[in-house]
A and B are shown apart, each in its own frame.
Chain A
Amino acid sequence: MKTVLEIKNLTKRFEGLVAVKDVNITVKERQIHALIGPNGAGKTTTLSMINGTLEPTSGKILFGGQDITGMPAYKIAQKGLGRTFQNIKVFGSLTALENLMVGAMHNNNKGGVLRMLLCVKETNAMERTMREQALEVINEIGIYRLKDEYARNLPYGSQKVLELGRALMGKPKMILLDEPAAGLNTSERAEFVEILEKMYEKGIDLFLIEHNMDVVMNISHMITVLNFGQKIAEGTPSQIQSNPEVIRAYLGNRYKTIRKTEESRGNANAGR
């Protein structure tokens, strides 16, 4: 399997505080990779360094074999690395559809204002392509009926999928998701996971931070665990669930016992 994203010895220091220390992560192609860990473990910092909103203190980030360390965020996005945020960032005074169209702008950004004013036909054609693509995506993420509402008036869950849709509009190879399921109720979460799986099937790799273990354990192929800025474990969901250090630092003993009782129940059923 080819490597899509490679993080080498990534370190971020804020004054005296070391937020991320010597982290190495390798994300393979066609995988959903999750990053978990307790609060303040440096997950979001890592994500921000990958997509260029934060500059790493040291270390290297390779995306598709290309060094993207310290590149401005917009260039990294143009290379096909989308992102969503933990605290939703939509454009409140634009409609849902317009929000999505912003996501497609960099693919339809030939020339400046002058060219737009002079080449009426070309501009109109580009505008039409963007609108059609946005309509397609808004249908896919299931908020078609809200397309003409201002984003700030949308319910929380819809804003969340809208943000995801905006990332999709850029036709990314990979999307970084920062706590996509946070704040969603059970049914919304199920819908969201469905959308994520649909995206994955369409060929987009996902790299996500998530606290919700249902989501993480169900959809991810590979999990990396951070604690106090350092990687403490990496493996498949079942490996992570039985890793003693992960249980101590993050999952907690309760998780272990629940799992044990479930397993023993399973064994008992099998025995019967």
Chain B
Amino acid sequence: MKNYESLVKKIFPVFAMLLAISLFPVFLKNNYYLTIGCQAMLYCIVALGLNFIVGMSGMMTLGTGAVYGLGAYTSALLSTKLGVNPWLALIPVLVMGWLIGKGLGFPSLRVQFVYFSLVTIAFNEIVRNLLTNLEFTGSGTGVRNIPPYSIFGFEFNTQLRSYYLIFAFLVVFIIIALRIAKSKWRRAFIAVKDNPEALEVSGINVSSVKITAFTLSSIFGCVAGALYAHFNRYITPSTFTTDLSISFVVMLIIGGLGNFWGCILGAYVVAFLPQLLRSAGTSYKLIYAVLMMLAVILFPNGIMSDIRRSVGKLINNGKGFSKGGGIGENRTGN
């Protein structure tokens, strides 16, 4: 019975959040806000995936924009040029994600820290330049007239319909992310960040753990990209810049690295804040930047992590680290 209760306790916040997201269109029927709502959910998916690399494994990748873009282009080109059903195109998109994961994971085994970030920036720029210059990808004008998803003739062609379609995908990815976050993989990813050598002598192949993190993340990113392509119906290479990659990382940093709730919150903040600041006119970028800086200064561990910590402190009422015991406890008994 106790088990059941704890399960309810754990699932309840997620359920409440999903309910809130699903009710969003009821309150904001405006198409403009619905579009941003869709955008935010797509960002959520990408951020949840990116969390495996940046948040858990501690590798700062700045190539997510390209991953998102490659997912979008794969699906868009297949459905416009070859007439492949968008649903069917999801399979090549998954394969694409898998391939990128293997490919991006490989340099992470050789270069570390800032150098790795530089490699991923280069990857992003290469992809963006290729997309801009290849005739096959529609060069600078991108791909137009991308068909929407449809089920038995029911087309997801309005903002509201797309909203619920993306929402369904979000639910699936949240379940996957939560399951991974509860499993040994989370421990392995964090161990890679904390101490790869110790993980290696514990009998785990660090390289394969890193590549797993990349593969997962790229699959999340590619699927989100494909959804974006069929939602927007029109994609250009100028969307998938390093700026976009940076804003994905910003989501994680604002929300809290390695924190599930942080990813969601960060994605919504980054999606909505610029729109809310629209009224500020030309100075919106300035205000946006200042707010971001303030967020980082006030919540150095991310908004979610810091809130959680202070709530935890309130509950424990400053008990802190007093459970102590075992070796080390009797240091005075020398």
Contact = CB atoms under 8 A, between A and B. Distances in A.
Interface in A45-92: 51, 53, 72-74, 77-78, 82-83, 85, 89-92
A78 B197 contact: no
Interface string B179-202: 110111101101101110111111
Contacts of A188: 327-328, 330-331
B153 interface: no
Nearest to A92: B194
B252 to A, nearest CB: 15
Interface in B253-289: 258
Contact of B203 (A77, A112, A157, A191): A77
B326 A143 contact: yes
Nearest to B326: A143
B195 A90 contact: yes
B198 A89 contact: yes
Contact of A93 (B179, B190, B205, B334): B190
A116 B176 CA distance: 10
Contact of A143 (B182, B202, B258, B325): B325
B203 A93 contact: no
Contacts of A109: 184, 204
B15 to A, nearest CB: 19
A170 B202 CA distance: 7
Contacts of B202: 74, 77, 102-103, 105-106, 166-167, 169-170
Size class of the contact patch on chain A = 35 or more
A98 B187 contact: yes
Nearest to B56: A93
A12 interface: no
B318 interface: no
Nearest to A123: B183
Interface string B197-234: 11111111110000010011000000000000000000
A138 to B, nearest CB: 9
Contacts, number: 148
A53 B206 CA distance: 12
A158 interface: yes
B176 A117 contact: yes
Contact of A73 (B184, B188, B201, B334): B201
Contacts of B334: 185-187
Nearest to B327: A157
Nearest to B184: A105
A113 B329 contact: no
A102 B190 CA distance: 10
A239 interface: no
Contacts of A91: 187, 190-191, 194-195, 198-199
Contact of A117 (B179, B197, B321): B179
Contact of A160 (B199, B325, B327, B333): B327
15 contacts: A51-B201, A74-B202, A78-B203, A89-B195, A94-B190, A113-B185, A116-B179, A127-B182, A144-B325, A146-B326, A154-B328, A155-B327, A155-B328, A167-B201, A187-B333
Given A105-B184, A106-B202, 6 more contacts: A74-B204, A93-B258, A102-B204, A142-B326, A169-B202, A188-B330
